[in-house]
Amino acid sequence: MTSSDIIFTVDNIKYWGNTNDWDNIKMTSRIYVDMDGVIADFFSALAEFRKVNHWKDQGEITLDTSIKDLRGTNFFETLPVFPFAKKLVDLVKSYTGGDYYINTSPLRDDLENSRKYKTKWLEKHDFKPNDIIVTKRKESYAVDKQTGIPNILIDDRPKNLEKWVARGGIGIRYQANEDSLDLIKKGLDNAYGTIVNANGRNTESKVTQVDKKSMPSETELG
């Protein structure tokens, strides 16, 4: 480490970098956006799949059974787009200079099929992320492996966010059918304030918005 390098701390994790690079930190911290529950309406599509008014109105059919029945189908291609999904992406891009990444979970034992139809959905609705990551281990992308800079995940499931934060990332809890985009704006302002201010002037993290409010269900989805 040279004299131009400094150490900073985010969530009690130490990182280092060149002092000449701080103006570019915003561009190196990636923002990952989940799909189901954030930009794609999974549960409305599930209700349609089951021909019921609400996904909870499935009688004796459990949610796990319904999800198993989706394996091998084009279900993910059929999901409605949430009304403010495009505005959400535009908001994210306004912080990054145009970049954003999809980080979404497949159905259990359905990785390749889920990836295929999630990708088709994104193409169909003209979403153009820098990369599409379909994985059961979202938290693997919580921190940039080269710089140590924490990345940001916008997700609707507290469980995913808890894992993300535990690995050193920054989480913003957002559920499209309940929350406004103001929540994401405040979260990104908070997150970027922490990342950018971690230049020695302010080394205490203010981040990690993991809302514990209840989810519709703990499904096989992420």
**Per-residue b or e along 176-203, where b marks 16 or more CB atoms closer than 10 Å to that residue's CB:** beebeeebbeebbebbbebbebbbeeee
Is residue 207, in this structure, part of any structural domain at all?
A: no
pLDDT, residue 189, reads 84
Is residue 95, in this structure, part of any structural domain at all?
A: yes
Count the neighbouring beta carbons within 10 Å of the beta carbon of residue 52.
15
Q: For the whole prediction, is pTM greater than 0.85?
A: no
* Residues in the chain with pLDDT values less than 70: 1-27, 51-63, 194-222
For residue 99, the enclosing domain spans 5-14+29-41+80-196
Is residue 109, in this structure, part of any structural domain at all?
A: yes
Q: How far apart are CA 76 and CA 41, in angstroms?
A: 10
Q: Which of 182, 94, 100 is nearest to 141 (CA)?
A: 100
pLDDT, residue 67, reads 79
- CB–CB of 218/64 below 8 Å? no
pLDDT, residue 56, reads 52
Is residue 70, in this structure, part of any structural domain at all?
A: no
Is residue 9, in this structure, part of any structural domain at all?
A: yes
Q: What is the CATH number of the domain that holds 156?
A: 3.40.50.1000
Is residue 116, in this structure, part of any structural domain at all?
A: yes
Q: What is the sign, positive or negative, of the torsion defined by CA atoms of 65, 70, 76, 80?
A: negative
Is residue 107, in this structure, part of any structural domain at all?
A: yes
Q: How many domains does the chain divide into? A: 1
Q: Six-digit token pair at 46?
A: 């599930």
pLDDT digits (tens, 9 = 90+) for 16-29: 344 344 444 555 78
Burial of residue 110 (number of CB atoms within 10 Å: 0-12, 13-18, 19+): buried
Is residue 63, in this structure, part of any structural domain at all?
A: no
pLDDT, residue 103, reads 98
Q: Which of 125, 149, 153, 142 is nearest to 40 (CA)?
A: 125
- CB–CB of 164/139 below 8 Å? yes
pLDDT, residue 4, reads 40
